[in-house]
Chains A and B, each alone.
Chain A
């Protein structure tokens, strides 16, 4: 028995190390695929170790659950469009959160099978705290992710939902939930546990509804972090080191991504979480003043002519490119430009898209080589030598007001210096303001040419004009 416990603990340790290596592999695209395989092996080891342990007496239910769940998972993974990755990840987070609640609930209702009872037949105090916290964070992750999913999927408006006293209500609910965690240590009645879970569900829902659509990169990262902390909480309850280590890894990963996203927007984490900023571009635009200064407007033929005769072009993609599904047409356009001897590279702002790294995946899907795609700090100095900056579906991240106008809401946000290029070609549907509700000064510059139209159709017309 002693020997078996040691072997089991060692197997979980191996699984935890493999998970660390899986993340480590992501330091470069070449090693990433091997890393993912290590993650799968780690998971297989963890699951096999548990299944072979003496606690598992019957396999039928487990097999049925794995087959159904696995089939659904594989089906979703093979069908999902790359543009829909943010909502997929949000949806997956909700499942981890709910699973954490269910496991905590199972441990609570049957503590004996998890070895959580003391000699008096009560649940250990430490285990109560751990399972209560695990269930609480899991429930917040679940309902918060569901809201994030419905906003990203467009099932509800991305506009922030705010009402008077919102923050007070959230604070009250949060304090009440923590109070219940404390009370659970004295009284282990079912109503305490389940009321805590119910409160946490409501709290997760209320926390995410005030956050606008374009702040979703932060929200998705934050929920990623929560799902990790929930898993770690359950790991403490179950005395399972693989779960504790994995929860800690995932928790810190999500926290770092949230930090990177906030920094790229020059906003504090709390101002994002408290919400109420911006929303759908249409909603934001209606509040902005109408600007009737003249802009220079161009056609697809003009754009084709300018780019074909340029020495170098830098492409700046944004969420609008994803919405219009223009990435494939864009890559074909770039191929033609390269044939004409033009040097082309891509510049990605950290918050382009609806989740961290979203644009990179879309470009990779369109067969763009990853060594042509650069992050902001690596390419920003090159705009001054570029002949053309081709902005497609991005807006606020190119607004020079962030550098020059202290009154602007986006002042201080790091932006791509596209205005330094000789010519800026700006693909846009109309003159509406960006997500932040601010007019982009770039539109009125002498070296800017606006290309009005749907991103995909515009790129296709340019492609035809280049041929």
Chain B
């Protein structure tokens, strides 16, 4: 399973380049929402937390996973909601 490290690294490096070009195309007026939404999507780390919190029975991993799911959920819901709130305010002259 760890043999595919090179393919993961390839994906990572290509994604850095995608990020580079996509982020330069973001208008400076939206840099605050950009930070809020990148914060929300980086909480996709919740998938690791879910796997840790998933098994039956008690363990240290499960407790850590539980707390991590909670923290990531604050970020996911809070991050997307606050981004939405900000973006709704950007209006053009009627």
Residues from chain A with Cβ under 8 Å of B50 in the complex: 47, 50-51, 56, 62
Q: Is the CB of A224 within 8 A of B35?
A: yes
Q: Which of B20-78 contact A (CB under 8 A)?
A: 20, 22-56, 59-62, 64-78
Q: Which of A98, A126, A254, A367 is B71 in contact with, Cβ under 8 Å?
A: A98
Q: Which of A19, A57, A238, A370 is B29 in contact with, Cβ under 8 Å?
A: A370
Q: Is the CB of B68 within 8 A of A103?
A: yes
A373 at the interface (CB under 8 A from B): yes
Q: Is the CB of B30 within 8 A of A357?
A: yes
Residues from chain B with Cβ under 8 Å of A231 in the complex: 42, 44-45
Residues from chain A with Cβ under 8 Å of B18 in the complex: 20, 245, 248-249
Q: How many angstroms from the CA of A308 to the CA of B30 in the assembled complex?
A: 31
A39 at the interface (CB under 8 A from B): yes
Q: How many angstroms from the CA of A191 to the CA of B49 in the assembled complex?
A: 22
0 or 1 for each of A276-317: is its CB under 8 Å from B? (1 = yes): 000000000000000000000000000000000000000000
Q: Is the CB of A364 within 8 A of B85?
A: no
Q: Is the CB of B42 within 8 A of A29?
A: no
Q: How many angstroms from the CA of A19 to the CA of B43 in the assembled complex?
A: 12
Q: How many A-B residue pairs have CB under 8 A?
A: 380
- How many residues on A have C-beta within 8 angstroms of the other chain's C-beta atoms? 118
Q: How many angstroms from the CA of A93 to the CA of B35 in the assembled complex?
A: 10
Task: Using CB atoms, name the residue of chain B closest to A129.
Answer: B5
Q: Is the CB of B90 within 8 A of A29?
A: yes
Q: Which of A73-89 contact B (CB under 8 A)?
A: 73-74, 76-78, 80, 82, 85, 88-89
Q: Is the CB of B39 within 8 A of A224?
A: yes
Q: Which of B22, B25, B81, B91 is A369 in contact with, Cβ under 8 Å?
A: B91
Q: Which of A408-458 contact B (CB under 8 A)?
A: none
Q: How many angstroms from the CA of A252 to the CA of B26 in the assembled complex?
A: 13
Q: How many angstroms from the CA of A400 to the CA of B39 in the assembled complex?
A: 37
A210 at the interface (CB under 8 A from B): no
Q: How many angstroms from the CA of A241 to the CA of B8 in the assembled complex?
A: 7
Q: Is the CB of B26 within 8 A of A23?
A: yes
A228 at the interface (CB under 8 A from B): yes
* Pairs A–B under 8 Å by Cβ, sample size 5: A69-B77, A105-B61, A246-B42, A248-B16, A369-B93
CB-based closest 9 A-B pairs: A69-B73, A73-B78, A357-B31, A110-B61, A73-B77, A106-B52, A252-B19, A248-B15, A356-B31
